[in-house]
Structure 1
């Protein structure tokens, strides 16, 4: 199934994935990319999976405009009638009850729209699993420290095109997009062309992330849930949360490692016997798994090597 690509991408751009040794072994053994549920990142970034607050507010205002417009038309018609009524008629209990009913309907519609909107944002965050890569022409000291398990790690170097080609055979509905990093002053006028588009705060811009995404439940599933229940109430919101829980799952998607892996780097923070053990591991898989026989020889990172003396 073709991958859906969001936005403009330079398919030749180099990308990296930094892994601890156990995750690298799992990749070789399963020949599958691991897609972590977004909910698993909540501790490091509680905003993970959400839209910029300004965008959320604007979308909420748009969601509220429809019920408000309906109520305004009703109230406008009633006001026209009241202008033609006598003072005694305007004080009639039936008129007061009608106004009270209209206001109550307005509050109910607004409350339902807000609850539905928040439920969708929660659904969007919880029903998504991701496989993350780092865009960079060079090794990243920060990424080694963050993802290589106290320095004992491996880095895979690839390209956006190789990543796309390596999972092109998958039957899963996969989306690829750069993460867009925003500050509090940005995105007031953003056009959200695709609700799958990922955003993170500027504080995480060092990640330079591009991610593959799998949506464990479609937007149609959410909209059908709304149609079935007419609106979101406290009870239906709780039911929706319970249903969403089952979509918070990790995925493993088969990948062509021969296509994906361009180069392998051993962490600069380790030495022997780790380096020899990794090289032996690669040789073992090359000799025993036909699809891995073209794995490249791992290179010992020179990131921390002292400069040459001329």
Structure 2
């Protein structure tokens, strides 16, 4: 269930377009299970995920001198935060295709911030929040710690190209052990507005994706990639 948090910043326009690039197996898992996978925050490639900038860490370290549990809480808390990452962009991104898909295969889901909010309504076990990631200089800039989600809504400037919006959840109250992540219930038809198939994929692969969706009873709009357009001379 999506919950509004006044301290978490969202794009002003609810119709802001967001994308998720993924391989066919993950896409089929989403369709078959009608559940969205959310990764455990400390399993991301970025080792700084969920950590603090240097100025904030120094501030917390001083507090922790008299209360060691304070710092330990933030370290262990990363295991209980789960995240689904989406990319803000009016258009599809060549870079995102390169990073998140392999062998010229894969798909991109196009959605909007509003559709993400609506898609989360079937979930009843955990509360979901949506926030836009801030990109800062971790050596100089401060990350607030008056909200436990804030460390997970900041990243280093090196990752600015991601232009990320996150669905984020704290599963501490659920008293579950999170391995790589958790799956949450979603309304698939709300979540997905359009599908783009990898622009460099072979025709057999495109036909396979279309066939699989038809057999599963889905009729999502499939758009031709702008990166696949014919060259005009």
Q: TM-score with structure 2 length normalisation?
A: 0.88
Aligned to 1:298: 222
CA contact (8 A) 1:128 1:215 kept: yes
Indicate yes or no: 2:209 matched with 1:255: no
**CA-CA distance at 1:281 after TM superposition:** 1.1
CA contact (8 A) 1:217 1:247 kept: no
Q: TM-score with structure 1 length normalisation?
A: 0.67
Secondary structure at 1:125 match in 2: helix
Secondary structure at 1:139 match in 2: coil
Indicate yes or no: 2:158 matched with 1:203: yes
Secondary structure at 2:226 match in 1: coil
- Whichever structure has more strand as a proportion of its residues is 2
Equivalences for residues 160-239 of structure 1 within 5 A:
160-171=113-124, 172-184=126-138, 186-188=140-142, 191-197=144-150, 198-218=153-173
Aligned to 1:125: 78
* CA distance, structure 1, for counterparts of residue 228 and residue 137 of structure 2: 33
Which one has a bigger Cα radius of gyration? Answer: 1
Secondary structure at 1:143 match in 2: helix
**Structure 2: any 5+ residue segments left out of the alignment?**
none
Q: How many residues align?
A: 227
Secondary structure at 1:124 match in 2: helix
* CA distance, structure 1, for counterparts of residue 76 and residue 127 of structure 2: 17
Aligned to 2:33: 30
* CA distance, structure 2, for counterparts of residue 183 and residue 117 of structure 1: 24
Per-residue CA distance 1:199-257 (angstroms, 9 max, x = gap): 11111111111111121215xx9xxxxxxxxxxxxxxxxxxxxx99x344521111111
Aligned to 1:54: 55
Indicate yes or no: 2:95 matched with 1:142: yes
* CA distance, structure 1, for counterparts of residue 2 and residue 185 of structure 2: 15
* CA distance, structure 1, for counterparts of residue 179 and residue 61 of structure 2: 25
Per-residue CA distance 1:285-308 (angstroms, 9 max, x = gap): 12xxxxx4xx32322313143542
Among candidates 279, 286, 292, match of residue 210 of structure 2: 279
**CA-CA distance at 1:22 after TM superposition:** 0.5
**CA-CA distance at 1:195 after TM superposition:** 2.0
Secondary structure at 1:273 match in 2: helix
- Whichever structure has more helix as a proportion of its residues is 1
* CA distance, structure 2, for counterparts of residue 184 and residue 256 of structure 1: 37
Per-residue CA distance 1:256-310 (angstroms, 9 max, x = gap): 1111111100001212210111111111112xxxxx4xx323223131435423x
Where does structure 1 differ by over 6 angstroms across 4 or more consecutive aligned residues? Answer: none
Secondary structure at 1:138 match in 2: coil
Per-residue CA distance 1:51-85 (angstroms, 9 max, x = gap): 22222222333x25xxxxxxxxxxxxxxxxxxxxx
CA contact (8 A) 2:15 2:112 kept: yes
